[in-house]
A and B are shown apart, each in its own frame.
Chain A
Amino acid sequence: EAAVTQSPRNKVTVTGGNVTLSCRQTNSHNYMYWYRQDTGHGLRLIHYSYGAGNLQIGDVPDGYKATRTTQEDFFLLLELASPSQTSLYFCASSDRNERLFFGHGTKLSVL
């Protein structure tokens, strides 16, 4: 079973704070994704990448940066966190036209 590990599992910060969410996959997958999940909105794509150094814009990118440092590691950065970014964040990895493997999620609260 493919492994995707997210850290931290829970994070609380204040408005204007700086937050980095980490994701590591050990599946040798090319594609990695960051989604946020909110009640009533399902899974919304923030950013994704198809390899180290590559970054693609998703559907809800405002207020987020991301960086893919290696094939294994994909980071999501909130440089000025706002309460509207309180959400459950999922990272996922896959190969092209194959299933997604999700991490267990990071619950972020911005006070």
Chain B
Amino acid sequence: GEQVEQLPSILRVQEGSSASINCSYEDSASNYFPWYKQEPGENPKLIIDIRSNMERKQIQELIVLLDKKAKRFSLHITDTQPGDSAMYFCAAPPNYGNEKITFGAGTKLTIKP
């Protein structure tokens, strides 16, 4: 299955500043790159995704960048708020039949007041 490396594992930023999480993947044929947010005691939920026909996607304060040549994609949270404190996971499902979806190891983001 696709191996996805996610860094950093722990991230602390000041409220109002930006936070960035990076993922790299192996399969150059992957074409769908989701990001999930998991708040304490909750299940993971999709917050933003990007497909390989795009290089950049923004939903409000969330920005995803995709560099297919380098096989890297990243999540940027601008103007962070306390509610952004959570675990974040990336995934890069393989683009062939069996859909073995594995996740990066996760990033624990803490927003400091």
Q: How far is the CB of A66 from chain B (nearest CB, A)?
A: 14
> Are A97 and B32 touching (Cβ within 8 A)?
yes
Q: How far is the CA of A103 from the CA of B95 in the complex (A)?
A: 24
**Interface segment, one of A10-18, A19-27, A40-48, A72-80:** A40-48
- Interface residue tally for chain A (C-beta within 8 Å): 24
A106–B2 alpha-carbon span in the complex (Å): 26
Please name all residues of chain A whose beta carbon is closer than 8 Å to the beta carbon of B44 when the two chains form the complex. 43, 90, 100, 102
Tell me if A50 counts as interface (CB < 8 A to partner B): yes
Known: A59-B1, A97-B31. A45 touches B102 (CB 8 A): yes
Task: Determine the distance from Cα of A48 to Cα of B97 in the docked complex, in whole angstroms.
Answer: 13
Say yes or no: is B54 at the interface (Cβ < 8 Å to chain A). Answer: no
Measured between beta carbons, the chain B residues less than 8 angstroms from A33 are: 101
B73 within 8 A of A: no
Given the interface pairs A43-B89, A102-B43, A104-B43, the reply to whether A56 lies near B104 with Cβ below 8 Å is no
Q: Are B99 and A50 in contact (CB under 8 A)?
A: yes
Q: Check B46–A100 contact: CB distance below 8 A.
A: yes
Closest to B36 in A: A100
B105 close to chain A: CB less than 8 A: yes
In the complex, are the beta carbons of B45 and A42 less than 8 A apart?
no
Contact with B along A94-111 (1 / 0, CB 8 A): 101111101111000000
In the complex, which residues 73-113 of chain B have their Cβ closer than 8 Å to any Cβ of chain A? 89, 91, 93, 95, 97-106
Top 3 A-B pairs, shortest CB-CB distance: A102-B43, A42-B106, A42-B105
In the complex, 5 of the A-B residue pairs with CB atoms within 8 angstroms, ordered by the A residue number, are: A58-B1, A59-B1, A96-B99, A98-B32, A100-B101
